[in-house]
Structure 1
Amino acid sequence: MSVPAAYLAVILIWSTTPLAIQWSGDGPGFLFGVAARMVVGLSILLAGMRLLRVDFPWDRASRRVYLVGGVPLYLAMTSVYWSAQYIPSGWISVIFGLSPIFIG
C-alpha cells in the first residue's frame, strides 16, 4: 500500500469512528460501547495471531506492557465515548479526521 493511500485510509477511518461511537452510545450507554469495542478489538487481534501462528507472550514483562498501554487507552476511549453524549459526532469527526494532518 502506498503512503498516500494509507494516509487517506487513516483519515477516512478516524473521521467515521465518531459516528460509530455515537451509535454505540445510544442504546445501553457509553461504558458498554467502550467495553464492546475493546472486546471486539481483542477478539480480532487474537484471531489474527492464531491465523498467522504468532505466539501471545504472557510473561511478567509482557503483562506489564499490556497494563501500561491498555489502561491509558481504555481511559482515553472512555472520555471520548462519554463526551460523544454531549458533542455532535460531526465535531468529533472533524477533530479526528484532521489530527493526522496536524500531526504530519
Structure 2
Amino acid sequence: MEPEQRKGTMATVGFEEFSTTPSSELALPPLFGGHILESELETEVEFVFGCLGSSSLQERDEEVEAARGLRQRQQELNHRKYQALGRRCREIEQVNERVLNRLHQVQRITRRLQ
C-alpha cells in the first residue's frame, strides 16, 4: 500500500508497513523472553478521580496521620528510654565513685600495715 503524500494532508499508511521482520534491524527483542511476569499479572491498579492510586485521598490522609502519630509515640518512648538510661548512668557513676573511694581507703590501710 503506497502512502499518499499530499501537502497539508495526512498520509494514509497501511498497518503492514509498520510490521518488521525478525531479521530487521528495527525489530526489538521481546522483554523477559516474551513472557509476562507473574507479578505483572497480579498487580491491581485503581483509578481515583482520574489519577493513579491505591486508595482515596481521605484514606491516604488518614494513613499519613496514623504514621505521624506512630512516629510521635515512638519519639516519646525513645525520649523516656533516654531519660531512664541517663538516670541509670548517673547511679552507676555514683556507685563507681563510692567503690573507688573505698579502694583508696583500703590501699591506705594496707600501706600503713606494711
TM-score by length of 2: 0.24
Give the structure, 1 or 2, with the largest relative contact order (CA under 8 Å, sep 6 or more): 1
Greater C-alpha radius of gyration: 2
TM-score by length of 1: 0.27
* Bigger fraction of residues in strand: 2
* Bigger fraction of residues in helix: 1
